Copies of this chain bind each other. A is one copy, B any other.
Amino acid sequence: MAIGLILGTSRTKSNSRILADALLKGTEHQILDINEISLLDFEDSRHESVPVSLDESSQTLMNFLLEHNVIVIATPIYWYGIPGKLKVLLDRLSHVFRQPDFKKQKPREVIILAVGGDQPRIKGLPLILQFQHIFDFVDIPFQHYVLAEGNKPGDVSYDQRALAEVAWLREYMMKRENYEGQI
């Protein structure tokens, strides 16, 4: 299946979920919900003499990346960056990107939807710059993101610009999938 959605929110009725739904409603997609996996902290074992086997969360992350062509990360912006728990998961990329399987079969695009309460289109840019470096490093194309405004649950429904961008992205994804499906 083509689309995998990583949900970085700890709320059930979250703004980032609303945005993800607007993008993916009616499409076939799978969800990796940060709330449904148990995360011990990432152990930095890059320099251990004995190779460390992938822990459960790293395995979950790797499988999810391998199984989808397009990865959408929908997340609130906490303190101008990636929420802690989502970052604990993404830190596991240190294990994942070393796996031979990952090198052979990466997603061909990643899309970021991020919702923040304090001028997200400006103050969310360090987050986008960080994701640029992350996806450059693991060599997954990243060119589309939406920075949306929302503080209280549901707020994002009033960010008409974000909704227009998501509507455009939805069309873009549909076209791309169909086109490639025909080949």
Contact = CB atoms under 8 A, between A and B. Distances in A.
Main SS of chain A's interface residues?
A: helix
A160 interface: yes
Nearest to A168: B164
B118 A143 contact: no
A169 B87 CA distance: 30
A85 B88 contact: yes
A128 B147 CA distance: 14
A10 interface: yes
For this chain, the copies found in one complex come to 4
Interface in A162-177: 164-165, 167-169, 172
B81 A153 contact: no
A161 B152 contact: no
A123 B142 CA distance: 12
A38 B122 CA distance: 33
Given A84-B88, A88-B85, A132 B143 contact: no
Contacts of A43: 10
Given A80-B134, A161-B172, 20 more contacts: A10-B41, A10-B43, A41-B84, A44-B76, A79-B94, A79-B137, A80-B130, A80-B137, A82-B82, A87-B88, A118-B137, A121-B145, A122-B142, A122-B143, A125-B129, A126-B133, A130-B130, A144-B161, A164-B164, A164-B168
